[in-house]
Amino acid sequence: MNHTIEAHSIKLGYGSKVIIPEMDIVIDKPEIISIIGPNGSGKSTLLKALSRIVIPLSGCVLLDGKDIHQLQPQQVAKIMAILPQTVHAPGDMTVYDLVAYGRMPYKKMFEKLDSDDQECMAAALEATGIRQMLHRRLDSLSGGERQRAWLAMALAQEPRLLLLDEPTTYLDIHHQLELMKLVRKLHQDMQITVIMVLHDLNHAARFSQRMIAVKDGLLFADGPVEEVFTVENLRALYGVETTIMTIEQGGSSHLVCFPHDSCLTQRA
Amino acid sequence: MREAAIDPRGTWRTGISIIGLVALGVALFWGIRVGTVPFSAYDIWNVFIAPASNEAYQIIYNIRVPRVLVGALTGINLALAGCILQGVLRNPLADPGIIGVSAGAGLAAMSVMILWPGLMALVPAAAFIGALLSAGIVFLLSWDRGIQPLRLILAGVALAAFFGGGMSALMVFHSDKVQGTVNWMAGGFQGRSWNHVQMILPYSLIGVLGAMLSYRHLNALQLGDEVAKGLGIRVEKARFFLVVLAALLAASAVSVAGLLGFVGLIIPHIARMLVGSDFEYLMPCAAVLGATIVVAADTVARTIFSPVEVPVGIFMAFLGAPFFIYLLRKGMRR
């Protein structure tokens, strides 16, 4: 089943501070969608609203046509998995323990993990390539391995929607690329909708089909990568002059941008 | 997934459980046996098999048994309250004092002892009400669409300072009557009876039941609010019930034992060093450890300088704090 998530004129903020005055978004296709925008534009807050972590001040977020805050939290957790930007876990927790949390939405009180859960966890560990690290402690893993363990936890929820907030932040370029390729593979193999906030524009351009650009709390552009990822848009979004070109790589091509100068007049 | 069946920590956990329960049994038995009048295992056996109103029965059934039971239940309650608070507030320094429980109980109990000395029998009830009232004030101060952990800690510290001032004022203005309050303030089990067992037992049962119901929530809350929400936990609701549960546990403990520090703060840490931070194993371990240590320490405290009794709180602080520092340094070297 294809799941849809819609934001209807949502207003977001904390207390009296409004971050997003009004925004409408519809996500109804299993695509990889990147949310881009300058620091403080509200892209993380938008992702948090879509993932029901932040309650809108007004307006509503609908999951399959129903208000996401009215739905049973456990039901939502079976459809949607989220990975926040900064996560912490006790260092003595093992990969097995962490991935087992992904099965929580499926368990009633006192119910133990059964063979279905075990299979599902095995599949999640297989997909992220950390099956052999099952009993390793989290504090013995490298940054890239740890991020994959968290991703495996999210996958154990068997989500149809995967929301990631800057998943590559603490990784070096090698592990950034590995993670992005993993995300693309998950999307292709399981037809999961991926919505992620990305800082790296070139990752966003290469790995996603749709781009949502946010500026000053407003929807600046929303559409296929080729339409959103333009010199004009990047100048208006970031105040940076760029050159955008197409790179051919292993039979496929994607856009990349080279920032070369900031246009101060635009920023002022 | 066959690998899961061979969790390398399984044997260790089973071993710790067995050792813990045996240690608790030994501590209870030893606590009943020794004292001004020592008894043999045969005497104790007789009391439970063939009750007779002789001296042995009086001492064992009416003095020793309730005393070790109150000690054990206090240990369980304080250790569980400490575990829950450290988990919910994600702060290793959290203990029952941090939600205002100790300060509220202290001020209420001290007021009764100093201002209305005729009502000494009401001290446990007053301490219990004082503890819950002050926890309630701390909750109100930290409320913003649910309990905010950092605000809760700061509000708790502020309230403890305020009530601490009240206690100091009472001591200054009634310096002649302070003597009687010292033992209670240090925490101890002198003269605890079956009444006290009845007072604390219901809360211990609620606490154990609550711990069994909530260990998954506590585990998920350790991963942070956002992840817990993503896993389908109602974070605000879970946190509220857990903090209330901790307040009840701690309030019932201070009402029968006085201001017994140390247990609620340090037992959870020792338990974590032993079995790790998974609450499914951490809470039972802490409960057994808390009960064992309180009973054993109380037994030593009342026999070591016999006939003078050292309040167990003082005794535990002197032995427990250095032991904890030793564990901490050992853990760091690893």
Neighbour tally for B154: CB within 10 Å: 15
pLDDT value for B255: 86
Determine whether the interchain pair A90/B7 forms a contact, defined as Cβ–Cβ distance below 8 Å.
Answer: no
Spatial CB neighbours of A14, under 8 Å, sequence gap ≥ 6? none
**DSSP assigned state of A52:** T
| Chain A residue at shortest CA distance from B220 | A101
By Cβ distance, the residue of B9, B223, B225 closest to A101 is B223
Rounded average pLDDT over A62-85: 92
Question: What domains appear along chain A, each with residue ranges and CATH number?
Answer: 5-229 (3.40.50.300), 231-268 (no CATH)
- Looking at residues B120-144, what average pLDDT do you find? 87
Q: Where is pLDDT greater, at B145 or B239?
A: B239
Cis peptide preceding B92, ω within 30 of 0: no
Question: Which residues of chain B are within 8 Å of residue A75 when distances are taken between CB atoms?
Answer: 232
Mean pLDDT of B36-62: 80
Q: How confident is the model at residue B282 (pLDDT cuts 50, 70, 90)?
A: very high
Average pLDDT over residues A82-104: 90
Whether A92 and B277 lie within 8 Å, measured CB to CB: yes
Q: What percent of chain A has pLDDT over 90?
A: 55
Altogether, the residues listed in chain A come to a count of 268
User: Does residue B316 belong to any structural domain of this protein?
Assistant: yes
For tokens 């109990």, the residue is B109
pLDDT of amino acid B192: 86
User: What domain range includes position B262?
Assistant: 12-333
Q: Nearest-CA distance from A246 to chain B in Å?
A: 37
Q: Is B313 helix (H, G, I), strand (E, B) or coil?
A: helix
Residue with tokens 């007789």: B46
Sign of CA dihedral B251, B256, B262, B266: negative
Of A94-98, B98-102, B150-154, B258-262, the poorest mean pLDDT is in B258-262
Return the H-helix or E-strand segment holding A1.
none
Determine which of A135, A140, A155 to mutate to test the interface with B (most B C-beta atoms within 10 Å).
A135
Question: Is B2 domain-assigned?
Answer: no
Structural element, H or E, at residue B165: helix B149-173
Q: Which residue has the higher pLDDT, A47 or B183?
A: A47
Contacts of B310 (CB under 8 A, 6+ apart): B301, B302, B304
Q: What is the pLDDT of residue A249?
A: 79
Decide if A94 contacts A174 (C-beta within 8 A): no
Summarize the confidence of residues A149-155 as an average pLDDT. 93
Instruction: Calculate how close chain B gets to A48, using CA atoms only, in Å.
Output: 9
Residue A67 pLDDT: 92
Q: Contact B292/B27 with Cβ under 8 angstroms?
A: yes
The answer to whether the CB of A149 falls within 8 A of the CB of A99 is: yes
pLDDT band for position B334 (50/70/90)? very low
Q: What percent of chain B clears pLDDT 90, i.e. is strictly above it?
A: 26
**pLDDT reading at B52 higher than 90:** no
Per-residue pLDDT, averaged over A54-79, amounts to 92
Query: Looking at residue B3, what is its pLDDT?
Result: 52
Contact B216 A104 (CB under 8 A): yes
Q: Which amino acid is at B69?
A: L
Residues of B with CB below 8 A from A118's CB? 1, 4
Amino acid, single-letter form, for residue B254: V
pLDDT for residue A143 = 86
Contact call for residues A229 and A245 (beta carbons, < 8 A) = no
CA distances from B81 to A115, B9, B133, B308 (A): 35, 25, 17, 31
| B3 lies in some domain | no
Q: Do A96 and B7 touch (CB under 8 A)?
A: yes
Kindly state whether residue B145 falls inside one of the protein's structural domains. yes
In a domain, B48, yes or no: yes
**Confidence band, pLDDT 50/70/90 cuts, at residue A267:** very low
From B213's Cα to the closest Cα of chain A, the distance in A is 7
What are the structure tokens assigned to B91, written together? 């702060």
Of B7, B224, B276, the CB nearest to A92: B276
pLDDT > 70? residue B5: no
- HSE (CB half, 13 Å, CA atoms) of A251? 0
Residues of A with CB under 8 A from a CB of B: 48, 51-53, 72-78, 80-84, 86-90, 92-94, 96-97, 101-102, 104-105, 107, 109, 113, 118-119, 121-122, 134-135, 154, 157
In a domain, residue B6? The reply is no
Structure-token pair, residue B220: 């998920």
Residue B255 lies in a domain: yes
Dig out the tokens for A56 from the structure.
């809108």
User: How many other C-beta atoms lie within 10 A of the C-beta of residue B50?
Assistant: 8
Query: Tell me, what amino acid is at B324?
Result: F
Residue B317's Cβ-count burial label (10 Å; 0-12, 13-18, 19+) is: middle
Q: Which of B216, B222, B231 sits opposite A77 (nearest CB)?
A: B231
Confidence of residue A268 (pLDDT cuts 50, 70, 90): very low
Give the C-alpha separation, B239 to A206, whole Å.
Answer: 42
Reported as a pLDDT band with limits 50, 70 and 90, residue A103 is very high
Residue of B nearest to A90 (CA): B277
State how far the Cα of B291 lies from the Cα of B297, in Å rounded to an integer.
10
Nearest to A81 among B230, B233, B277 (CB): B230
pLDDT (tens digit per residue) in B210-219: 988 899 999 9
User: How many domains does chain B contain in total?
Assistant: 1
CATH of the domain at B194: 1.10.3470.10
Share of chain A above pLDDT 70, in %: 98
Q: Which residues make Cβ contacts (< 8 Å) with residue B243, sequence separation at least 6?
A: B84, B85, B88, B99, B139, B147, B152
Residues of chain B contacting A, Cβ within 8 Å: 1, 3-4, 7-9, 213, 216, 219-220, 222-227, 229-234, 276-278
Burial of A148-175, coded b for 16+ CB within 10 Å and e otherwise, reads bbbbbbbbbbbbbbbbbbbbbeebeeeb
Provide the mean pLDDT of chain B.
86
Reduced to 3 states, what is the DSSP secondary structure of residue B43? helix
Is pLDDT larger for residue B203 or for residue B91? B203
Cis (ω within 30 of 0) for the bond into B307? yes
Identify all chain A residues contacting B276, using CB atoms and an 8 Å cutoff. Answer: 90, 92-93
Distance from CA of A146 to the nearest CA of B (A): 14
pLDDT band at B6 (very low <50, low <70, confident <90, very high): low
Q: pLDDT tens, A191-210?
A: 999 999 998 999 999 999 99
Q: For A151, which residue in chain B has the nearest alpha carbon?
A: B227
Q: Determine, yes or no, domain membership for B93.
A: yes
With beta carbons under 8 A apart, name residues in chain A contacting B229.
51-53, 73, 82
Crossing angle (nearest 10°) for helices B65-88 and B10-33: 150
Closest-approach residue (CA) in chain A for B144: A15
Size of interface A-B (CB pairs under 8 A): 83
